């Protein structure tokens, strides 16, 4: 999910008399501090927790329950941008990814320098890359449709080649193989039922596919259960018998 970012779209007055900047939900923005302006009530002291200077009539930021003037807040609490190594001040839009903080303008593709603030991206060996640059350098192509297999796409790999999951289909019935067993034949892939129907030898007796075992007699294949005595139906596989 996304995090919060301060976007000065409108202002609302809270019940305490403080003017607060509204915030809007965004994909990867992290929350900045909430700015406030102290109402002019001079009957009691209201100072910055760090430098002790008065905050009357000045903008300030609460950290926990402690008010801080803007310079002190930025000095003490501002995160450091992972790219430029400079502090990210309270007015900057800040992005947060994998425990790293960035200025919005520093969150860019390592190859083409495109802004990634509102773009899909990936991280390859600590380098941020837009999808176009990642695909041109690292993604494989589907051998069936010749299109790039995008990051995060379900894929299947076999014999050094890559397919989109939806492209890895039986040559005969054209149904996706998915996680089912399959049999290759030359350059084609077959699901087991289609392969048996097309390539398996047929039992001379019942004409059905012979998928395992069996008996050969006079160059004809039989299921073991089909190779029986014509008189009593006793199975003859491995037995002595005579023929007429």
Domain extent for 115 = 108-136
* CB-based burial label for 76 (10 Å; 0-12, 13-18, 19+): exposed
Query: In terms of Cα–Cα distance, which of 37, 27, 34 is closest to 91?
Result: 34
Give me the pLDDT at residue 203, please. Answer: 85
Neighbours of 124 (CB within 10 A): 15
Q: Is residue 12 part of a domain?
A: yes
* pTM of the entire predicted model: 0.44
Are both 23 and 60 inside the same structural domain?
Answer: yes
Give the separation between CA 189 and CA 171, rounded to whole angstroms.
6
pLDDT per residue as tens digits for the range 41-63: 556 788 888 899 887 878 888 88
Instruction: Using the predicted structure, report yes or no on whether residue 154 has a pLDDT greater than 80.
Output: yes
Are both 189 and 208 inside the same structural domain?
Answer: no
Are both 97 and 68 inside the same structural domain?
Answer: yes
Q: Is residue 143 part of a domain?
A: no
Are both 18 and 86 inside the same structural domain?
Answer: yes
Q: Is residue 141 part of a domain?
A: no
Give me the pLDDT at residue 146, please. Answer: 87
pLDDT per residue as tens digits for the range 105-117: 999 999 999 988 8
Specify the number of domains making up the chain.
Answer: 4
| Mean pLDDT for the chain overall | 76
Instruction: Using the predicted structure, report yes or no on whether residue 218 has a pLDDT greater than 60.
Output: yes
What six digits make up the tokens of 48?
């910055």
Are both 97 and 16 inside the same structural domain?
Answer: yes
Q: Is residue 148 part of a domain?
A: no
pLDDT per residue as tens digits for the range 175-203: 999 888 898 888 889 998 888 888 878 88
226: CATH: 2.10.110.10
């Amino acid at each position: 999910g996304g995090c919060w970012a301060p976007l000065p779209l409108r202002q609302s007055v809270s019940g305490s008399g403080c003017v607060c900047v509204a915030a809007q939900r965004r994909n990867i923005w992290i929350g900045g501090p909430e700015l406030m302006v102290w109402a002019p009530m001079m009957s009691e002291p209201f100072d910055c927790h760090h430098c002790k200077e008065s905050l009357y009539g000045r903008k300030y930021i609460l950290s926990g329950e402690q008010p801080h003037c803007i310079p002190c807040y930025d000095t003490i609490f501002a995160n450091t941008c992972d790219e430029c190594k400079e502090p990210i001040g309270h007015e900057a839009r800040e992005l947060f990814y994998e425990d790293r903080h960035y200025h919005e303008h520093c969150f860019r593709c390592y190859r083409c320098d495109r802004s990634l603030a509102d773009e899909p991206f990936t991280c390859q060996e600590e380098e941020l890359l837009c999808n176009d640059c990642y695909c041109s350098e690292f993604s494989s192509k589907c051998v069936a449709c010749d299109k790039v297999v995008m990051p995060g796409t379900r894929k299947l790999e076999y014999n050094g080649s890559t397919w989109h999951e939806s492209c890895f289909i039986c040559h005969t019935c054209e149904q996706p193989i998915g996680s089912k067993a399959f049999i290759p034949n030359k350059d084609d892939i077959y699901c087991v039922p289609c392969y048996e129907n097309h390539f398996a030898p047929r039992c001379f007796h019942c004409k059905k596919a012979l998928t395992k075992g069996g008996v050969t007699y006079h160059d004809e294949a039989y299921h073991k259960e089909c190779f029986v005595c014509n008189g009593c139906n006793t199975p003859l596989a491995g037995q002595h018998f005579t023929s007429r």
